[in-house]
Amino acid sequence: MKGFGRYMMFLGSLFVRRETFATYYKLILEECVQIGVNSALLFILVSTFIGAVTTVQTAFNMVSPLIPRFVIAQVVREMVVLELAPTIMALIYAGKIGSSMASGLGTMRITEQIDALEVMGINSSSYLVLPKIVASILMYPLLVVLSGVCAIIGGYIVGTFIHIITPTEYVSGLRFGFNSFEIVVALTKSVVFSFLISSISSFKGYFTKGGALEVGIASTAAVTTSVIAILLADYIIVNLLLQ
């Protein structure tokens, strides 16, 4: 509880003694490039392959001739939109971006760069962390959309290439019984997860004490805590929105 209290106070500190909008604008753009553009390739690769594998495995498990083949695409769509794109990718995002945020801030802490900001009269948490959180909330939903599209394309390419499903069946399966609210759920998840990952990782990194070893520990703790928070939040969101 003490840690949670410190985390809430840390979040509160982001909004006091803020710098000018122009300062944040530049920092947010830099973070968007760092977080979004530099992660896009990894997201494309991972989601395309997961989409492809999901298609093959779903087809492998559908042995009954009574189930039409387009159901494969329907299952892939459901899995991708509701869980794979927002949640599984969030775990990867925590590993890549979360650990990078924690180690970056941790290194700044142990090399007194954060102290230097404070001595200049700058609110270091607001200056360093707020742009990361805002950029994360802006970029992660886009990455989730990209990931969903790539996974569905990956499933289409592999499914049609190895003749598990025809292109027509795949497309009709994607469209069959589609509920657009699922997109809202996926995007809600993406916003919540991106906030959790960026804020928890920044919190862990910002309060690093010690040396290089502790930076590594902070980075690991950031990923572990973020993953737990994602799984809990996933359960809560699904219960709130899909029941």
Partner 1 sequence: MIKIKDISKSFGDKMVLENISSEFDKGKTNLIIGSSGTGKSVLLKCIVGLISPDNGRVYYDLRNFTEADKEEKSEIRREIGMLFQGGALFDSKNVEENVMFPLDVLTKMPLDEKLDRANLCLKRVGLENVNKKAVSEISGGMKKRVGIARAIVNSPNYLFCDEPNSGLDPQTSILIDELIHEITHELDITTVVVTHDMNSVIGIGEKIIFLYKGHKLWEGNNADITHSGVAQLDDFVFANKVMSKMRSL
Residue closer to partner 1 (CB basis): 119 or 240: 119
Residue closer to partner 1 (CB basis): 16 or 41: 16
Structure tokens given for 30: 């830099």
Residue 47's nearest CA partner among 74, 5, 83, 73 is 83
- The least distance separating partner 1 from the CB of residue 219, rounded to whole angstroms, comes to 16
Residue closer to partner 1 (CB basis): 111 or 179: 111
Q: Are 87 and 193 in contact (CB under 8 A)?
A: yes
> Given candidates 1, 16, 41, 66, which one binds partner 1 under the rule CB under 8 A?
16
d(CA 78, CA 152): 10
- The least distance separating partner 1 from the CB of residue 104, rounded to whole angstroms, comes to 9
Under rule CB under 8 A, which residues in 95-134 are in contact with partner 1?
107-108, 111-113, 115-116, 118-123, 127
Q: What is the dihedral of CA 133, 134, 138, 140, to 10 degrees?
A: 0
> Given candidates 3, 8, 9, 23, which one binds partner 1 under the rule CB under 8 A?
23
- The least distance separating partner 1 from the CB of residue 32, rounded to whole angstroms, comes to 15
Q: Are 39 and 98 in contact (CB under 8 A)?
A: no
CA 48 to chain CA centroid, Å, is 16
Residues of the shown chain interacting with partner 1 in the complex, contacts defined by CB under 8 A = 16-17, 19, 23, 107-108, 111-113, 115-116, 118-123, 127
